[in-house]
């Protein structure tokens, strides 16, 4: 079976009843290509076009991101869909202006920010061009594109050790360290939140990194619990794809271009 035929076959439960199907998507590396500087990310118009059509015809369309929900909305430039931000800490519903913040996560906000702001002010991180990202309840340290990425990563690993010693939680992504409050926080939590007030029969989740594995598991748990009939976990391949992602995905597409083709296939069923 060709990759295209395999994808069409995998999408069959969703396209059979679009009004009872959910399409959940990571943003960076999935809808938007990975770029050197995170602030430059955007969803190309050829991808937005089928996404808009899918959003009009499917029961639920949401983006689940490690970024703040408002930032994810800016990158995608589609205000009618729901955004889950900060790995499940925020829920920004379609048409809303302010995200709903998980109360448990909010309690750890001050400790995370106090720690990160001290670290971002260090001469070493500035010299190595490690970039800080303030995501409110999560703070990130990026070293993609640093002049010496190996030295920058070593310095960031020291930051991680200090964060853990301070009782905070660390999480590694593709050339980024996130410092988080000491509560369970992952995209699976966000997927559960966004599915909680729906009655869908089928849903897919597409993502490209380790952080997306928790979203895969949340969908499969929903099937096991009987709240979903079908779950489709789509891995998005790149030259940095973690082996675990490909191993746990039901089907793998080739980068953001493959995601666009998937959206076009979903839109064609409407």
Domain with CATH 3.30.70.1020 in the chain: 108-180
Task: Point out the catalytic residue in the list 9, 26, 123, 148.
Answer: 26
- This prediction's pTM: 0.82
Residue 55's pLDDT band, with cuts at 50, 70 and 90, is very high
Cα separation, 41 vs 52, in Å, equals: 19
| Level-2 CATH architecture, domain 108-180 | 2-Layer Sandwich (3.30)
Radius of gyration of the chain (CA): 18
Q: Hey, what are 200's tokens?
A: 């869908």
Q: Give the tens place of pLDDT for each residue, 199-216.
A: 899 999 999 998 899 999
Domain with CATH 3.40.50.1000 in the chain: 3-101+185-268
The CATH number of 3-101+185-268 is which of 3.30.1370.160, 3.90.1310.10, 3.40.50.1000, 3.90.1150.10?
Answer: 3.40.50.1000
Helix (H, G, I), strand (E, B) or coil at 81: coil
Residue 26 annotated as catalytic: yes
Q: Give the tens place of pLDDT for each residue, 143-171.
A: 999 999 999 999 999 999 999 999 999 98
* pLDDT value at 37 more than 80: no
Q: Give the tens place of pLDDT for each residue, 213-266.
A: 999 999 999 999 999 999 999 999 988 888 999 999 999 999 999 999 999 999
> What DSSP designation does 102 have?
P
Cα separation, 112 vs 115, in Å, equals: 5
């Amino acid at each position: 079976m060709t990759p295209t035929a395999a994808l069409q076959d995998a999408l069959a439960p969703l396209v059979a009843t679009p009004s009872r199907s959910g399409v959940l998507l990571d943003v960076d590396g999935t809808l938007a290509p990975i770029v050197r500087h995170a602030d430059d990310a955007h969803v190309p118009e050829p991808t937005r076009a089928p996404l808009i059509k899918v959003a009009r015809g499917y029961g639920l369309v949401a983006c689940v991101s490690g970024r703040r929900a408002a930032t994810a909305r800016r990158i995608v430039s589609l205000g009618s869909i729901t955004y889950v931000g900060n790995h499940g800490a925020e829920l920004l519903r379609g048409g809303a202006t302010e995200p709903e913040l998980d109360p448990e996560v909010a309690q750890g906000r001050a400790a995370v920010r106090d720690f990160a702001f001290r670290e971002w002010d260090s001469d070493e991180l500035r010299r190595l061009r490690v970039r800080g990202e303030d995501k409110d309840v999560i703070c990130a340290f990026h070293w993609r594109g640093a002049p010496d990425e190996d030295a920058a990563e070593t310095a960031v690993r020291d930051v991680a050790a200090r964060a853990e010693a301070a009782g905070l939680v660390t999480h590694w992504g593709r050339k980024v360290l996130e410092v988080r409050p000491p509560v369970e926080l992952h995209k699976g939590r966000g997927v559960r939140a966004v599915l909680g007030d729906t009655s869908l029969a089928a849903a897919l989740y597409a993502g490209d990194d380790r952080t997306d594995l928790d979203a895969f598991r949340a969908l499969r748990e929903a099937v096991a619990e009987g709240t979903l009939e079908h779950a489709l976990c789509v891995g998005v391949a790149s030259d940095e794809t973690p082996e675990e992602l490909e191993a746990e995905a039901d089907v793998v597409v080739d980068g953001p271009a493959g995601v666009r083709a998937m959206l076009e296939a979903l839109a064609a069923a409407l």
